[in-house]
Amino acid sequence: MKLEPVKVVHVYYKPMREKIFVGRLAFKDRKIFFEYDTRFIEIGLNLSPFKLPLKSGVIASNDFTFDGLFGVFNDSLPDGWGRLLLDRALIKHNINPGSLSVLDRLCFVGSNGMGALIYEPEAEQTQAIQHDSLDEIAEEIAEFQEHDNDKYVEDLLNLGGSSAGARPKILMNLEGEHWLIKFPSSTDPKDIGAIEYAYHLMAKDAGLDVPKAKLFPARKGFGFFGSRRFDKTDNSKVHMHTTSGLLHADHRMPSLDYETIMKATMHLTRNMKECEKQYRGCVFNVISHNRDDHSKNFSFLMDSNGVWCISPSYDLTFSSGPSAEHCSMIMGEGKNPGISQLLELAKISNIKKSEALKIIDEVISSVSKWSTFAKDAGISHASVKLIDSTIAKIIKESRKICY
Ligand SMILES: Nc1ncnc2c1ncn2[C@@H]1O[C@H](COP(=O)(O)OP(=O)(O)O)[C@@H](O)[C@H]1O
Ligand SMILES: [Mg+2]
């Protein structure tokens, strides 16, 4: 593994086989600059309309939310798990991770990032090992996390180094489909994968658009949650932008509220159906107590004609959020949001009250069937009980107002 510091990075958009030059990123005098290529401006694909709109000339970044990087490129950088792996691999090779600029980090992403952007010059990639099972990978993760053993760090980097999010994960091609598979971190409950699978089943039943997902069996324990990637097929990639990158909203702190998420959805998609889908997701998060609803857990996809929609919902699970509140407040309420906040949110989003009540009703009816989904996913008795009592309380409060 080598570090060759760069001052200029070339960005390409590669939705299909052909790559299209987007522009140049440069680092000078501790500042980051970007310039769109004239031909890309002519094509007219607005990859990041709010914070890096298409325009000619050099654009200097004056926002240090992401170490001065523009949000659309920051979305390509791994944060929690992927960043940790790269840093540990660098240390193993006597390279100080602190000496890397964000541009150097983009070179390590190269052509393996999520979404359709690629970065050159691409840093040398680590070697892949052939694995017989997910259990083998889980053991490598456990060695790394629990025993501080960096023997497998290059392999883990190869498997999941360009993924985002805190939890260990890998990106894998399974019979021609591209999957993202998550593993428990050392502090997670052992049945976290099964819980996420139960939430997936529940969200699907509640009418949310969710990717194809599976609970992959584990030799020991409850299984690994995986979902089919919605940004990649064998011969195409889709441009993906998180709300964090789109609005320069740091996901490590409560930096968003649902009012902003709904407004961003309307501005970007200009499609009421997309707003209703986003709204349904919000209702689901409130009713099912999914409070890890930070800015990186909402994304948008842009097709090759420049049309935006919201991505399928992901990272849906039982979670308590910072100080037991939602990361994103619902009309000013983070601790105990209920139907009145949800109806207020519908109102400012121009969703009719009758439609909002219908969505709320459908979500409540699916979340009420929690124990059935929990049984299908085979989660532990303790988790079933805890989640059951928490959501039962939310539903009871909601029904007082709904009916
Ligand atoms: N099915 C999927 N297809 C494409 N990208 C995904 C998919 N699921 C998650 N992602 C992306 O991967 C990131 C990490 O996944 P997530 O489930 O949020 O993991 P974590 O629990 O570690 O936060 C998300 O922020 C999202 O950008
Ligand atoms: Mg996440």
Q: Which of 81-85, 162-166, 361-365 has the lowest mean pLDDT?
A: 162-166
Q: Which of 124-133, 336-345, 359-368 has the lowest mean pLDDT?
A: 124-133
Distance from Cα 210 to the centre of ligand 2, integer Å: 14
- pLDDT score of 403 more than 60: no
- What is the chain's percent helix, strand, coil content, to nearest 5? 40, 15, 45
Q: Cis (ω within 30 of 0) for the bond into 53?
A: no
How wide is the angle at C-alpha 292 spanned by C-alphas 141 and 311, nearest 5°? 90
Average of per-residue pLDDT values in the chain: 95
Q: What pLDDT is stored for residue 234 in this prediction? A: 84
Distance from Cα 315 to the centre of ligand 1, integer Å: 6
Q: Are 232 and 303 in contact (CB under 8 A)?
A: no
Q: For residue 132, count CB atoms less than 10 angstroms from its CB and return exposed for 0-12, middle for 13-18, buried for 19 or more.
A: exposed
Average pLDDT over residues 369-387: 97
Ligand nearest to the CA of 81: 1
Q: What pLDDT is stored for residue 2 in this prediction? A: 81
> How many angstroms separate the CA atoms of 325 and 332, rounded?
11
Strand 31-36 with 58-60, pairing: antiparallel
74, 170, 180, 188, best to mutate for ligand 1 pocket (most atoms within 8 Å of CB): 180
315, 319, 327, best to mutate for ligand 1 pocket (most atoms within 8 Å of CB): 315
Ligand nearest to the CA of 163: 1
Tokens of residue 314, six digits: 């992901």
> How many angstroms separate the CA atoms of 50 and 4, rounded?
32
| Residue among 344, 335, 333 at smallest CA distance from 279 | 344
pLDDT digits (tens, 9 = 90+) for 207-216: 999 999 999 9
Q: What pLDDT is stored for residue 114 in this prediction? A: 97
The one-character DSSP state at 98 is G
User: Distance between the two ends of the chain, CA-based, in angstroms?
Assistant: 63
Tell me the sheet residues that pair with 20: 13
- Nearest atom of ligand 1 to the alpha carbon of 213: 1
Angle between helices 153-160 and 80-92 (to 10 degrees): 140
Distance from Cα 144 to the centre of ligand 1, integer Å: 21
pLDDT digits (tens, 9 = 90+) for 114-137: 999 999 999 988 777 889 999 999
Q: Are 319 and 290 in contact (CB under 8 A)?
A: yes
> How many angstroms separate the CA atoms of 245 and 243, rounded?
5
Q: What pLDDT is stored for residue 4 in this prediction? A: 85
Distance from Cα 5 to the centre of ligand 1, integer Å: 29
Among protein residues, the one with the nearest Cα to ligand 1's atom 23 is 165
Q: What pLDDT is stored for residue 253 in this prediction? A: 85
| Residue-by-residue DSSP string for 143-204 | HHHHS---TTHHHHHHHHTT--SSS-EEEEEETTEEEEEE---TTS-TTHHHHHHHHHHHHH
Tokens of residue 338, six digits: 């209920």
pLDDT digits (tens, 9 = 90+) for 226-242: 999 999 988 999 999 99
The one-character DSSP state at 297 is G
Q: What pLDDT is stored for residue 402 in this prediction? A: 53
Q: What pLDDT is stored for residue 128 in this prediction? A: 76
| Residue among 85, 96, 125 at smallest CA distance from 108 | 125
Q: Are 8 and 25 in contact (CB under 8 A)?
A: yes
Q: What pLDDT is stored for residue 131 in this prediction? A: 92
Q: Are 389 and 330 in contact (CB under 8 A)?
A: no
CA atoms within 13 A on the CB side of 386: 12
Share of the chain above pLDDT 70, in %: 99
Q: For the full predicted model, state whether its pTM sits above 0.95.
A: yes
Average pLDDT over residues 49-59: 98
> How many angstroms separate the CA atoms of 295 and 223, rounded?
27
CB count in 10 Å sphere of residue 264: 20
| Residue among 186, 172, 179, 165 at smallest CA distance from 317 | 165
Distance from Cα 55 to the centre of ligand 2, integer Å: 32
Q: What pLDDT is stored for residue 401 in this prediction? A: 62
Pocket of ligand 1 (CB under 6 A): 114, 163-167, 180, 211, 227-231, 242, 296-297, 299, 314-315
Q: Are 24 and 45 in contact (CB under 8 A)?
A: no
pLDDT range class, residue 139, cuts 50, 70, 90: very high
Distance from Cα 38 to the centre of ligand 1, integer Å: 33
Q: Are 161 and 78 in contact (CB under 8 A)?
A: yes
pLDDT digits (tens, 9 = 90+) for 174-193: 999 999 999 998 889 999 99
Strand 8-13 with 58-60, pairing: unpaired
Average pLDDT over residues 158-162: 93
Average pLDDT over residues 328-356: 97
pLDDT digits (tens, 9 = 90+) for 13-24: 999 999 999 999
